[in-house]
Amino acid sequence: MTSRKQIAKPKVAFFDFASCEGCQLTVVDALQTHVELLDAVEIVQFREASSERREDYQIAFVEGSITRPQDEERLRRIREQAAVLVALGACAHTGCVNALKNLHKPEDVRRWVYGDCADWYETYAARPLSAVVKVDAVIPGCPIDRHEFVEVVKAVLVGKKPPIPDYPVCVECKLKGNVCVFHVGKTCLGPVTRAGCGAICPTHGDGCEGCRGLIPHPNENAMEEVLDEVGLTLDQIMGQFTMFNAYREVENGEWAQ
């Protein structure tokens, strides 16, 4: 009698750079309700959830922004090993709130945070993974959406492009029949922000703050005009655009100091 040869499962690893680790926590949460994923892959490294620490992974999920020169070296090693590298969450995808410091002079930032010990810490402008290495897929959001994480894993496992929307949050918001928050005196970046969260903030009465990054070719000028028309000052408009997207705005020269 011949025995059936077991097909090796793809080996997956999770890594983190500058982040709050909330996206990894969402992964742990998602794996509890989608245990079928644990049958489909072998997790060989995941500091937040396992003591396993192997380097023979093929798929790397990387959380966090790059904020120090030595981070680049570690990220490049991960990239060399991984056949597929996925940016996990807004810190890795856009730079997220870490990039707020890019709006200020690096020496000022170091002094505010570390005081007299500022010179001990080597840190530079925060940046997304894609500023350093090729990224094969992204899971947007602060934190990620657990359902989207599951869908991205399934797509990666069958070699498909992950299904990340390229239309704005307003589409999901309208489909839900929400009252636009602009009608109740609030503001929202939904017209220029990438959908996929189910318009969760407007659905609960708050404006979108752009945590999933902007859509391709956003009409930022029109968005600024709308925010201006409802009475926001230039500083407040800048605050809206840079809350989660400061890296992009500074790189584009929009709100440089």
Which chain residues interact with ligand SF4 by CB under 6 A? 19-23, 63, 89-91, 96, 142-143, 169-170, 173-174, 178, 180-182, 188, 190-191, 193, 197, 199-202, 208-212
- Residue 193 and residue 210 in contact, taking contact as beta carbons nearer than 8 Å: yes
Nearer to ligand SF4 (CB atom), residue 11 or residue 127: 127
- Tell the smallest beta-carbon distance from residue 108 to ligand SF4 (Å): 22
Nearer to ligand SF4 (CB atom), residue 11 or residue 192: 192
- Tell the smallest beta-carbon distance from residue 201 to ligand SF4 (Å): 3
What torsion do the CA atoms of 65, 66, 68, 73 make, to the nearest 10 degrees?
Answer: 140
Nearer to ligand SF4 (CB atom), residue 24 or residue 45: 24
- Tell the smallest beta-carbon distance from residue 2 to ligand SF4 (Å): 48
> Buried b vs exposed e over 39-59: b needs ≥16 C-beta within 10 Å?
eebbbbbbeeeeeeeeeebbb
- Looking up tokens 């990220």 gives 75
- Tell the smallest beta-carbon distance from residue 30 to ligand SF4 (Å): 13
Helix (H, G, I), strand (E, B) or coil at 18: strand
Which candidate, 98, 134, 129, 118, places its Cα nearest to that of 20?
98
Nearer to ligand SF4 (CB atom), residue 11 or residue 194: 194
